[in-house]
Structure 1
């Protein structure tokens, strides 16, 4: 008999409902929202990818509306900058950590042993997928309620809006009259459901910096961060 790693007990559903402050009517939506591709083998449970796509838009709508209402004097450019910082993968991952959802994410046994459920890119994706699932199950208001609970402090405190490494590096390079940093894929390893990208970033006149991550986007952020730290540009 195949061990179904996506199975949730009633006790776990109740624990997740307590974390979310929301009880799903359609439990399959919640299961999908918490299931990575590596954890769905051998059963018919869908993964979180489609829900992540939807949840990203739900989060974007709520955050954009809040920024618009709270900042009547801010220009579009300033609103857009704050928006990008609030909805980026790192912010979503921080919200997922605050929520404490990582132990409920379904991944393969090997991936779990490697600590995948604590990786920023996975946590960020799952946070968005949960928002998408809540939206489909109960509408915008319960999704908005969770977003406001997890993002309120970030919305209220501008000091928490730290510019992402890639944007910071680009602005730094342009301020010195250099070309936009160049990113390239050094290698891609692992299966489709659990890839590892090694990314290098180059700035004119400097040695390249290299980092690895489960996605190209996150790898670029880590490579930029490695460059900034190595050159002591930003801690």
Structure 2
């Protein structure tokens, strides 16, 4: 449980660091896009190797495929409601979008920590941390530009970090006694939601801000995630 708390605090703390970076720091838009693509590439490989592949081995290809498709469909439906009904640029809409993206990631992280050693979750936790930093920076920067006070923006991100931490801890505690087949299905649903969020939110943003280098940054992110994941094998 101690390792779970440490990992969750580090990953969710990246939201606050990223928000502060977005409000008080300044990076060229090209570099910002490069970092977003780097994080997206790392997260894409991590959910594939740390969530989907082990789930196929623990259950079956069909269970994994249905889970991934269901997670992607759930994210797409909810993302549509945020964009079309609530307004993704509003305070409530932005919070909903961030939460929708982060809850599957942190739920998957909590599940992945069940029975795992420190090195076994390095790729997934590291990739989520990398994705949280630029995502929070971009979101906080947009909110500040819309005229919201810096204190209110930081408070909103602090609340979001607390909510996502709770999701990871809940995933770890509530599902500890679940069977491997059930855990496999849950991991794949979470992975599907994350993949859909990468396709609709992360990579389009990266290409818009840094179209010439986004592909290279994505590949570098995948290599970084692979290097972190190789820690399992020594």
TM-score in same-fold range (> 0.5)? no
Larger relative contact order (CA 8 Å, sep ≥ 6)? 2
- Report which of the two structures shows the higher radius of gyration computed on alpha carbons: 1
TM-score when normalising by structure 1: 0.30
Q: Which has the higher helix share?
A: 2
